[in-house]
Structures are given as structure tokens and as C-alpha cells.
Amino acid sequence: MDMQELKEAIFSLKKKKNAVILGHYYQRDEIQEISDYIGDSLALAREAERCEADIIVFCGVHFMAETAKILNPTRKVLLPDMAAGCSLADSCPADAFKAFKEAHPGYMVISYINCSAEIKALSDLICTSGNAEKLIRSLPEDQKIIFAPDKNLGGYINSVTGRNMLLWDGVCMVHDAMRAERAIQLKKEYPEALMIAHPECNAALLQVADFIGSTKAMLSFIQNSDAKQFIVATESGILWEMKRNNPDKEFIVINPEDNKNCNCVDCSYMKLNTLEKLYRCLDDEQPEIVMSPEMIDKARKPIERMLEMSKKLGIIK
């Protein structure tokens, strides 16, 4: 089947099976194009929670599909490629994290949503890049906090809030690899451009950014800015939504000077999902996210707390 035939076949299977496709902003363009909802991890978690379709096909990575299952366990949740993992989630194995937590009694455990269900089950509160700062600011000043798994996001929040959260030593291989030196070079090449960065980037790079924010916050920033050029320090899939909403603006990705056509700003896990795999997974209703009711129950509590707090703080409706 060619791409058009695949899209039509997916559309008719989706109708026949009462399925919905949730797509993350980092997915391939053609997948974002065919998704019923596109969003960041917070918006997609919210969509999954209130989804009434029988099947959720989650076009994103494993921890996102798992979160959808946790929030809406009676739905069948499919992930087009089970190997679509996350280096950040992998940097925090449950056994080691449990020992770390036990070594620090009295600490509240806040985990970024980019972690496994086991880590969620060991956490008091989950956050995303879209709500982390506000959630943490709303906690008592003297609250002792362990933040996992992303030391870059945690370090950034420590720097803007003056907190001293204890950080787990994990990073996202895509964002952490973007270099401040290259960003400075690009700023010289494009003196009118504003540089926007995801807080998963390393501290040196964040220091030279004009705006730091979640995927959604970056999109709003561009929309509301008069600037015409943006240097983008995040995963390249986001360019599809950026260009769609701002056809008159130019976006420059932070690729290395000596290899301008590399795919280093692509998340190889996110890109594992293809139209072909999406079609097959809808047809076969496989691979499916399967979890024990006990794990769903334990992991749901800190996610529900995040959603409740986010509603109270006016971050989501």
C-alpha cells in the first residue's frame, strides 16, 4: 500500500473498531497528520483519561501508552511498536531507585512522567514538563523532595525556584546531547532569531536560551512572538506543528556544524512508529499494553494527584 492507501485503510479500521489515535508532537509528520489528537504528554494523558473509544492507539513511546492504560484501564491500549522506549525512563531502574528512596526517608518523591509504571508506583506525585514548575512551587518551602529521573529538568526547576531537590542522575539522550557551543554559533549566524529550549536540555545550553518551556509552552511562545526566526532546541518532530501554525516563520534545529543533515535531533524511539505499523497494530489489535490491576492502582495515585493539582492551579481544565 502507498501512503495514501495506508491512511485510508487506517481511517476505515479506526471507524470500524471505534478506535482513537493519540499522537505525540515528536511523531513522524504523517502520523501527526492522521492522529485524532496531537499533544504533549500532559495533554495526551488528559485525553486518554476521558477517552470513550474502545481502543486507544498511542503513537508515542511506551511510558506514554502505559500512562494511558493506567488512567483508562478498561480501554484496550495499543502501541504500534513495543520497542518505542525512552532513554530517560531507562536511566531509572526500579530496584536502584527503590534503594535510593529508602536511603532518604522523609523525602517526598516527585517523578517526571517519563518513567516506568514501577517508578510511578514508588512516587508521591508525577509531573510533566508542562506543569513541573507550578506544581513544585505550590508545595511548602521546607518540603524535602527527591526528583527523578531527569537531572536537567530537576536542576532547571531548582534554579528557578531556589529549591534544593535531590536529583536522580538521569538524562534524555536527545536533549542532553545538544551543545551550548553550537547554539551560540547559530545565534551568531541568525542574529535576529530567538532560541527556545526544552528543560530536558543540559544546563549550559539552557543558559543561552531566550525561552525555556515544555513542548506546549514553546508552541505558544512562537505563536505569540513577533520574531520571524527561531533556533529550536528540542526533538525535530515538533517542527511539523510549528510550521503548520506559523507558515511565515523559520525554524532552525541545533544540529552539529560538521554534520548538518544528521538525524541527531530525532528521538529514535519516537520514530519507530510508522504508518505501516500503525495500520498493522489496528488490524491485529497488537501489541497491547498489559498491566496487572495492582500496578495500575499503585501507579495511578500519583498521576491522579498531578491531574487534580493541575486543575486546581488552572494549568488544565
Closest CA to 23 of 273, 223, 242: 273
CB under 5 to 8 A by kind: which of ligand 13P, ligand SF4, none does 129 bind? ligand 13P
Peptide bond into 149 cis (omega under 30): yes
Q: Give the CA distances from residue 298 to residues 72, 91, 102, in Å, rounded to whole numbers and listed in that order.
A: 14, 21, 18
C-beta of residue 174 within 8 angstroms of C-beta of residue 265: yes
Among 91, 111, 116, 128, binds ligand 13P (CB under 6 A): 128
> In DSSP terms, which residues pair with 229 in a beta bridge?
250
Of residues 171 and 306, the one with the C-beta less far from ligand SF4: 171
CB < 8 Å & 24+ apart, contacts of 32-38: 32/237, 32/240, 32/241, 33/7, 33/240, 34/7, 34/10, 34/275, 34/278, 35/59, 38/241
CB of 269 to ligand SF4, least distance (A): 5
User: Closest distance between ligand SF4 and the C-beta of residue 54, in Å?
Assistant: 27
Q: Which is nearer to ligand SF4, 78 or 88 (CB)?
A: 88
Build a one-symbol-per-residue string for 68-107: x at contacts with ligand SF4 by CB under 6 A, - elsewhere. Answer: ------------------xxx-------------------
**22 binding ligand SF4? (CB under 6 A):** no
Q: Exposed e or buried b for every residue in 150-162, given b needs 16+ CB within 10 A? A: bbbbbbbbbeebe
Rg of the chain over Cα atoms, rounded to whole angstroms, equals 19
Residues in 1-40 at the binding interface with ligand 13P, rule: CB under 6 A: 40
User: Residue 129, interface with ligand 13P (CB under 6 A)?
Assistant: yes
Asked if 133 touches ligand 13P (CB under 6 A), the answer is no
Complex with ligand 13P: residue 40 or 133, whichever CB lies closer: 40
Is residue 302 within 8 A of residue 125, CB to CB? The reply is yes
Residues within window 103-122 making contact with ligand 13P, judged by CB under 6 A: 114
Write b or e for each residue in 288-309: b if 16 or more Cβ atoms lie within 10 A of its Cβ, otherwise e.
Answer: ebeeeeebbebbbbbbebbbeb
- Minimum distance between the CB of residue 62 and ligand SF4, rounded to whole angstroms? 9
* Per-residue binder mask for ligand 13P (CB under 6 A), 217-256, x = binder: ------------------x---------------------
Which distant-in-sequence residues (6+ apart) come within 8 Å of 315 by Cβ? 42, 130, 131, 134
Of 124-183, binders to ligand SF4 (CB under 6 A) are: 172-174
Q: At closest approach, how far in Å is the CB of 180 from ligand SF4?
A: 18
Q: How far apart are the C-alpha atoms of 207 and 241, rounded to whole Å? A: 25
C-alpha cell at 103: 536511603
- Candidates 27, 35, 41, 236; binder of ligand 13P (CB under 6 A) is 41
213 binds, among ligand 13P, ligand SF4, none (CB under 5 to 8 A by kind): none
Residues of this chain that bind ligand SF4 (CB under 6 A): 61, 86-88, 114, 172-174, 200, 235, 267, 269-270
Name the residues that contact ligand 13P, by CB under 6 A: 40-41, 114, 128-130, 172, 200, 214-215, 235
